[in-house]
Chains A and B, each alone.
Chain A
Amino acid sequence: MFKVEVIVTLRTSILDPQGKTVEHAMHSLRMNTINNVRVGKVFHCTINTSSYDEAKKSVEEACKKVFTNPVMEDYSYKIEKM
């Protein structure tokens, strides 16, 4: 069994209005050293297999078909044995 965390964010080439708004809010609180805020999503799941390669294959498939829309989003993930 593996524990997975997937992070999905808008592609870096796309302006993230939500991130910009959060950044402006922080600047108005004088947190001026914080920049380039991007808002994303986190997915947690488990994968029922004993093979790391199989787990990785499943995560890749889930990322491409469900967790992201590849037109606008990128993903990264961590896989940990439980």
Chain B
Amino acid sequence: MSKIKFGIVVFPGSNCDADAYNAIINDMQQEAVYLWHKETSLQNSDVIILPGGFSYGDYLRTGAIAKFSSIMNEVIRFAKSGGTVLGICNGFQILLETGLLPGAMLRNTSLQFSCKFVHLKVENTNTRFSSTCSHNEILKIPIAHGEGNYYTDTATLQELEEHQQILFRYCDSHGEVNEESNPNGSLLNIAGIINKEGNILGMMPHPERTTNEELGSTDGKKIFLSLIET
């Protein structure tokens, strides 16, 4: 099988780019290139990753300045023509700011930066990001964010549910989706959503931090494996 090429966008302030690169190269045995924010070519990448971190110091709003960078014009064009884009944490926030995904991120209700393992329920396995998961499978993947409190209006929320765009919800280790298992106040315990077409995923948890036994879980591998096998 030929290797999949992952393009990892690097903004000033990104800090999970190297983790993503390492996960792709060493644990997933695929190809990866860094794409500096000033570049205007995606270098024929098959999948674009917008990594976690604090692009542009989170100035203005999280992910707000990144959307004006040169590389994002290309990412938006790529995404709109059906290209696969995975936004992780700050990458998810950028996808919301660019409008590639609906909604916005508010401060965690606790007002605290939350860095811990959480459990996610996989609610749709019929996507290129989750095809190797089983329905309602529980993944153990860490979060690390201060603004992961997903918000949108009621109509959009309804649409997300209708079109099965809610891919991951925060749950407990038994799969219970409730207030106690919600780490940030997200509406409907939303941890990750896809667009209607299914080629863009934004998620707050970090799958690139769980691709190796030594990291405490290998559940993140399933997301990358789904992309590789699709």
A interface residues, Cβ below 8 angstroms from B: 10, 14-15, 17-18, 21, 66-67, 69, 71-72
Contact = CB atoms under 8 A, between A and B. Distances in A.
Interface of B: 60-61, 64, 96-97, 102-104, 106-111, 151-153, 185
Nearest to A21: B111
B106 A10 contact: yes
A69 B97 contact: yes
Contacts of B111: 17-18, 21
Contact of B109 (A17, A67, A71, A72): A17
Q: Is the interface of A mostly helix, strand, loop or mixed?
A: mixed
A16 to B, nearest CB: 9
Q: Is the interface of B mostly helix, strand, loop or mixed?
A: loop
Contacts, number: 32
13 contacts: A14-B106, A14-B151, A15-B109, A17-B106, A17-B108, A17-B109, A18-B107, A66-B64, A67-B60, A69-B97, A71-B102, A71-B151, A71-B153
Contacts of B102: 71
B107 A71 contact: no
Contact of B64 (A14, A15, A21, A69): A69
Nearest to B108: A17
A77 to B, nearest CB: 16
A66 B104 contact: no
Given A17-B111, A21-B111, A72 B60 contact: no
Contacts of A18: 107, 111
A72 B104 contact: yes
Q: Which of A10, A14, A17, A71 has the most CB of B within 10 A?
A: A71
Nearest to B105: A72
A14 B185 CA distance: 12
Contacts of A15: 109
A69 B151 contact: no
Contacts of B96: 69, 71
A21 B110 CA distance: 10
Contacts of A66: 60, 64
Nearest to A72: B104
Nearest to A71: B104
Nearest to B149: A17
A37 B109 CA distance: 16
A17 B148 CA distance: 13
B64 A72 contact: no
Interface pairs A-B: 4 shortest CB-CB: A71-B104, A72-B104, A17-B109, A69-B104
